[in-house]
Structure 1
Amino acid sequence: MQNRLTAWGFLFPALVLLTIFVFGPIIYVAILSFTAGSFTPTGMYWVGWQNYARLLASPDFWQVLGNTLYFTVATVIPSLVIPLGLAVGLNQAMVGRTFLRTIYFLPSVASIVAAGLGFRWLFQPEGPVNALLQGVGIEPISWLGSPVWAMPVLILLSIWKQLGFNMIVFLAGLQTIPQSRYEAATLDGANAWQQFRYITLPGLGPTLVLAAITTTIFTLRSFEQVYVVTGGGPLNTTNLLVYFIYQQAFGMFDFGYAAAAATILLLATLGLVWLQLRTWQDQP
């Protein structure tokens, strides 16, 4: 009994902070999603499921949802595959490992606003990217003004930003795999691909789950890229769910509608995390 009280005593400050800054706001947003009116207790009134019905009937919302799904899938997969390959290569490197690890990690600590402005300069009509294309005989592309190419620019920026963090995570995971397993596999005649498939990947299982979950969460809450680089355009093709929530709440002052969209985003994020955990648990 004494140990239980001591444990709760240590947990109590953290639980208070979580309630005030995490659980409390989540509950408040969920309640707000069933209301309309001004953002004051006297101005709000209950509307039930009307905000959710408006969302489901809105073509703009479905377009934003599709944009978010496209952006998430196209960002998360390369953000796991590329850092994993880099981590395996760096883990076997004999010279320059620390220098290369630092270089690759720099984007993770760079300001996303500054990086966004840099990408906006790189992909402007007369920017360096189009200059390189013209140098090899390809016509310049209106990257940020094209409904086709604007989203890939945002995806490239997000992959670049996430690459170093995931690489460091995978490097840490590789250090936990006993070297004796690779030595035994080499003696048994296993080639590099077989060692990667049957030793490295299973050994990195928990690390892969962690990286997949954190990358998915970071991607779903992307806001700065859209705000700085494209502003949701052109033709709403780069508008992501978080930016859509921002527009509805602070552009249109429709807080109940924005809260409904935020609640859907929360449920979608929890569903994806649960699916990733379930997939890992079902692995033999």
Structure 2
Amino acid sequence: MLKSNPTTWLDRDTVAAWIFLAPALLLLGVFLLFPILYLLGLSFTGGSFTTAGVRWIGLLNYRRLFVDPDFWHAIANTLYFTVATVIPSLIIPLILAVFLNRAIALRGLLRSAYFIPSITSIVAVGLGFRWLFQDRGPINQFLELLGIDSIPWLSSTIWAMPVLILLSTWKQIGFNMVVFLAGLQAIPQSRYEAAELDGANDWAQFWHITLPGLRPTLIFAMVTTAIFTLRSFEQIYVITGGGPLNSTNILVYYIYEQAFALFDFGYAAAAATILLAIALLLVYLQLRTWKEE
């Protein structure tokens, strides 16, 4: 019995494939892989980019992180900010997607209107929110018309974070709504028709058909929203600057302060490595869930 020659990595098709992939791989290496490796290396160094230069200090930056109360305060703020943003950023778009998936008037216009926040500059939106929620801004003026005392939104350790959560949720609603609409249209209509024949009402169809059918889409939306929230910087920089009293100082802004205010680049790189590990963990969980599906 004749044995076929094994395909080697030097055959014509493989070489052609590597030639076509080379430009993309080069770009990924230069703009993705190299910065990650440089970040990891920098996290094990101390000093600054001056005549004194950087020096190897091993795990000292990571030890500093785990005993730094400001770092753990930033972690707690990040957790609060992320959870409080992800939950409404999934529930509200899901409701809107279910509503817009039906044949209603002006459906295309409503889809575009809800998606506009996703393509709007977050810096411009942040300036608008800062104007709305300033001490004598339109929000407080409206509250006073209702007989409610004005609230120091941006100077209060209690209310500053909810303003940022509101902005981030508003920014993410349109993108998640489009994702859910795509997921809804992938569910076979025959399932709903069979459920109607069995006497299932709208809530039963939503609970037993829509939600199970949207499970992979829900996981994707949850992970992307969490990553979007974890890397939030512009709204904190524009609206609160991490204040008041570090109540809105989340991990990304903490890294920015350590690197570009205190010029402690090695310590900032260690904190950024922790953030990268969290993001990679979320992506791993998403891929693992899709594989199970």
TM-score normalized with structure 1 length: 0.95
Structure 1 residues 120-147: Cα deviation after superposition (integer angstroms, max 9, x where no partner) = 0111111111112112221110000000
Separation in 2 of the partners of 1:94 and 1:56? 54
Separation in 2 of the partners of 1:100 and 1:231? 34
Q: In the alignment, what sits opposite 1:122?
A: 132
How many pairs does the alignment contain?
A: 283
1:168-183 aligned at under 5 Å gives the runs 168-183=178-193
Separation in 1 of the partners of 2:17 and 2:203? 47
Extract unaligned runs of 5+ from structure 2.
1-10
Could you tell me how far 1:246 is from its partner in structure 2?
Answer: 0.7
The range that moved more, 71-80 or 194-203, is: 194-203
Larger radius of gyration: 2
Q: In the alignment, what sits opposite 2:95?
A: 85
Structure 1 residues 175-229: Cα deviation after superposition (integer angstroms, max 9, x where no partner) = 1112121111111111111111221122222222221121111110000010000
Letter in 1 for 2:157: P
| Partner-residue secondary structure (3-state), 1:144 | helix
Task: Select which of 247, 251, 276 maps to 1:241.
Answer: 251
Q: In the alignment, what sits opposite 1:22?
A: 32
Extract unaligned runs of 5+ from structure 1.
none
Separation in 1 of the partners of 2:51 and 2:31? 20
RMSD: 1.6
Contact 1:35 1:47 in 2 (8 A): yes
Separation in 1 of the partners of 2:231 and 2:51? 28
Q: In the alignment, what sits opposite 1:96?
A: 106
| Partner-residue secondary structure (3-state), 2:155 | coil
Q: In the alignment, what sits opposite 1:192?
A: 202
Structure 1 residues 260-283: Cα deviation after superposition (integer angstroms, max 9, x where no partner) = 000010011112332344456667
Letter in 2 for 1:252: L
Task: Select which of 135, 139, 162 maps to 2:149.
Answer: 139
Structure 2 residue 223 is matched with structure 1 residue 213: yes
Contact 1:209 1:277 in 2 (8 A): no
Label 1:208 to 1:10 Cα distance change in 2 as closer, same or farther (>3 A).
Answer: farther
Could you tell me how far 1:3 is from its partner in structure 2?
Answer: 3.1
Label 1:163 to 1:225 Cα distance change in 2 as closer, same or farther (>3 A).
Answer: same
Contact 1:33 1:259 in 2 (8 A): yes
Structure 2 residue 118 is matched with structure 1 residue 108: yes
Letter in 1 for 2:49: F
Q: In the alignment, what sits opposite 1:72?
A: 82
Separation in 1 of the partners of 2:290 and 2:155? 40
Separation in 2 of the partners of 1:94 and 1:223? 38
The range that moved more, 188-197 or 155-164, is: 188-197
Label 1:41 to 1:104 Cα distance change in 2 as closer, same or farther (>3 A).
Answer: farther
Structure 2 residue 277 is matched with structure 1 residue 267: yes
| Partner-residue secondary structure (3-state), 1:100 | helix
Contact 2:220 2:286 in 1 (8 A): no
Label 1:42 to 1:16 Cα distance change in 2 as closer, same or farther (>3 A).
Answer: farther
Letter in 2 for 1:191: N
Q: In the alignment, what sits opposite 1:250?
A: 260
Separation in 1 of the partners of 2:223 and 2:282? 8
| Partner-residue secondary structure (3-state), 1:92 | coil
Separation in 1 of the partners of 2:292 and 2:79? 24
